Every structure is written in C-alpha cells, then in structure tokens.
Amino acid sequence: MPALTRIPLPSPAPGTQRHILVRRYGEPGARPKAYLHASMHADELPAILVAHHLARLLEEASADERILGEIVLVPVANPVGLAQRINGGLLGRHELDGGGNFNRNWPSLTEPLAERVGRQLGSDPDENVRSIRAAMQEILAERQPATELAALRLTLARLACDADIVLDLHCDSDALMHLYMIPELWPAGADLSAEIGSRATMLSAPSGGDPFDEAWSGPWAALRERFPQNPVPLACFSATIEYRGQSDVDDHLAAHDAAALFRFLQRRGVIAGEPPPLPEPQCDATPFAGVDVVKSPAAGVIAYKRRLGERVKVGDVVAELVDPMAENPAEARRPIVTRADGLLFTRRRTRFARAGEGIAKVAGPVPLEHRKGRLLED
C-alpha cells in the first residue's frame, strides 16, 4: 500500500491552512524514480481525474508488489489555485495575490549547480549523476520560502528534483492531446508521445517562461554542454502532457489516459509487467517555434471556421471576428488567418476575445520568423 504524506503550507491568513497530499509507491530511493503531479494550473481538471485513475492502478500494482522503482504522485499540485473562486468561477491559472502564472518562473538550478559540482565532476557518469542530484537536494534544502506560493513551489521542487522521470499533467482550453519536452529528449521521448496518443509533440529549450518540466530536464542538458569533458547523462526525462481541453473531464477518457501512463512507466522499468506493443505514433515531433499562436486583431466574438485536427496552410481563415456593435452588419466580420502550415490543435474555449489575445494554435514543422524569445503565453 502507498505511503501517504500531508505536507502543510504556511497559513495565508488566520484560521486558514492548506496542504499537499503525496502518494508514494515502492521503496524510497529505488530506481527508476518517477514523479507526477496534476493540475498546476488548478482549473485544468482533466489532469486531476487522470491522476485519480492512475492512483487506482498504482494501488493494485503496489498490492501485487509490482512497483520496481519509486513513484511519487501528487494528485492535486495546486490547492492554492483550486481555492480561487470568484462568483462561482474557478480561476486557477494565475495566483490572485500577485504571484503570476503558477507554471512560470520556476527557478533555474543550472548556475548554482555548476558552481557547486563543476569541480567535482569526473569520468564516471553514474557518480556524476549522484553528485548532481545530491547538490540539487542541498540547494533546495537551503532555501526558505517567504509565502504560501513559494512554499508550494519549493515543496514540489524537493519532491521532483532527483527523479528519473517527471511528468507535469495539464490541459489546454479546447484542444487535442499534445506534449512538450526539450529537444535533447527526442527521439528518446517518442515512446511517451505514441503511448498517450499525442497529436502534436513540440520541442523547445528554453521556452522563455521557465515552466516546471524544464526546471528538471534543463539543468542536465545545460551541464552536459557546460562540461563537455565530463560525462553528464540526461538523467531526468521530463515533459508536460496536455490532456485535451478544460471541458474534457470524462471518466472514460481519464481511465484510458491513466492506463497509457501506467504502460509508459512499465516501459521505463518503474513497474513490472510487459505492456502491449507501442501504438503507432500520431505525429512526429515539431519545433515549438513552429507553432503559430493565432491572435485576435480586436475585441469581438469568435466564430471558428476550422475544427480541431484540421490541416491548414498559411493564409487560411481559422476564424472570423464578429463585431456585434458594427453599424453595418454586413461589415461586422473580419477574417483571422494563420501564418503557418500545420495542424490546428488548440482553440479558445471562451468565444470572446480582446485585441491581441490568442484564439488558436497551429503546429507546423518549420520555425516561424515571428516566433522568437518567449514562446509560452502567460
């Protein structure tokens, strides 16, 4: 049976306190170690339901002594955001106390790691991995959070930092299944892409927003480049999985998705058992810089002209912007076009947009000239 831990967060106000529930399977310290958490953006509820179904599968595997490594599952990664309701609406993407996007600005450990372990690295890759992981734990142990949000982030970081596998479970607004990881993890990550049925798998490092998954795979790639004379393996496979759209909170889908995660963990040696043959991949990896974020030129109602999963070309009309206050109804519509050839894989669930807001994304195979610097939307 799993070990359950409740980690309290600092009280944000008298009489109020939240905690993080951690489910642990397997022997502590066993390898490989997998860390998974759900819904860092707290209003992305499909991930929480997937984690629920995965926990049921892990309970059975634990009872049958089939957990070979160690699995840490946080079924609700963001109790702070989950409590943010205004007039019945759940607002879980940004911290309302000024902390910004919950999945941005995770601290980079590359520089402190380089300073702490650079001279210790030798010719033994396994020993280098141990040294780097120990240094990660030391750096995070030394940090003292000043706020509830900082404590939340530090708690999750300490749970994930030494894992071989880190999976951050999200969803988009209205979307197909898709996946993000750094380029150095491809094609090794093709098994995850195929197993979950990803329709768009995007590679980027850095994305410009310092998301959670890059905080754990990124340092290994950076240290490998910084110290080429010393073998530094890519010892953490981390990725962000987007479980379709916010309305796709469905038991059948979630059970299917949890089973795919379970098979992935079997393939990676965390759980005993022989999974069935890997499904045929539904996409190849493409650059995140090849994603056109289609934006609204003004405020108005969005009338989509293309469905999710359609292939589009540069100049194709994805949607029309309707100005309901136009004096002449015949002139109330403006076409909104894409600047990429590729797959329309996300759309905006709320059909009203302000000027400059993204209304859709098209994943293309070629980096776009206008997609440089910060690639993630806030």
- For residue 225, what pLDDT band results from cuts at 50, 70 and 90? very high
**Residue 257: how many other CB atoms lie within 10 Å:** 26
How far apart CA 15 and CA 23 sit, in angstroms, is: 26
222 and 96, same domain (yes or no): yes
| Res 230 pLDDT > 70 | yes
Global pTM value: 0.98
Co-location of 100 and 235 in the same domain: yes
Which domain covers residue 98, as residue numbers? Answer: 3-283
Which pLDDT band holds residue 205 (cuts at 50, 70, 90)? confident
369 part of a folded domain: no
CATH of the domain at 293: 2.40.50.100
pLDDT at 247: 97
For residues 170 and 78, membership in a common domain is answered with yes
Whether residue 377 is contained in a domain is answered as no
At 278-296, the pLDDT tens digits run 999 999 999 999 999 999 9
Supply the CATH number for residue 74's domain: 3.40.630.10
Residue that is last in its domain, among 283, 314, 335? 283
Last residue of a domain, one of 283, 306, 328: 283
Please say if the pLDDT value at position 2 is more than 90.
Answer: no
Q: How far apart are CA 304 and CA 367, in angstroms?
A: 25
Q: What is the pLDDT of residues 37-61, one digit of tens each?
A: 999 999 999 999 999 999 999 999 9
Phi and psi at 36, nearest 5°, equal -135, 140
Domain-embedded: residue 32: yes
Has residue 98 got a pLDDT over 90? yes
Burial 50-63 (b: 16+ CB within 10 A, else e): bbbbbbebbeebbe
CA 292 to chain centre: 19
For 235-280, how does the pLDDT look when each residue is reduced to its tens digit (9 = 90+)?
999 999 999 999 999 999 999 999 999 999 999 999 999 999 999 9
Instruction: Please give the pLDDT value at position 107.
Output: 87
Q: Are 95 and 203 contained in the same domain?
A: yes
375 found inside a domain: no
Last residue of a domain, one of 283, 309, 327: 283
Residue 72 lies in a domain: yes
Please check whether residue 378 lies inside any domain of the structure.
Answer: no
Is residue 368, in this structure, part of any structural domain at all? no
Q: Give the count of beta carbons closer than 10 Å to the beta carbon of residue 43.
A: 17
End-to-end Cα separation, the chain, in angstroms: 39
* 359 and 228 housed in the same domain: no
- My answer on whether 80 and 22 are in the same domain is yes
- Residues 173 and 67 occupy one common structural domain: yes
- Using a pLDDT cut of 70, give the percent of the chain over it: 100
pLDDT in tens, 154-173: 999 999 999 999 999 999 99
Q: Is residue 191 part of a domain?
A: yes
Domain count for the chain: 2
Percent of the chain with pLDDT over 90: 97
How high is the pLDDT of residue 1? 65
The residue-averaged pLDDT of 105-132 equals: 96
Give how far Cα 12 sits from Cα of 17, 147, 150, 151, 374, Å: 7, 8, 12, 11, 32
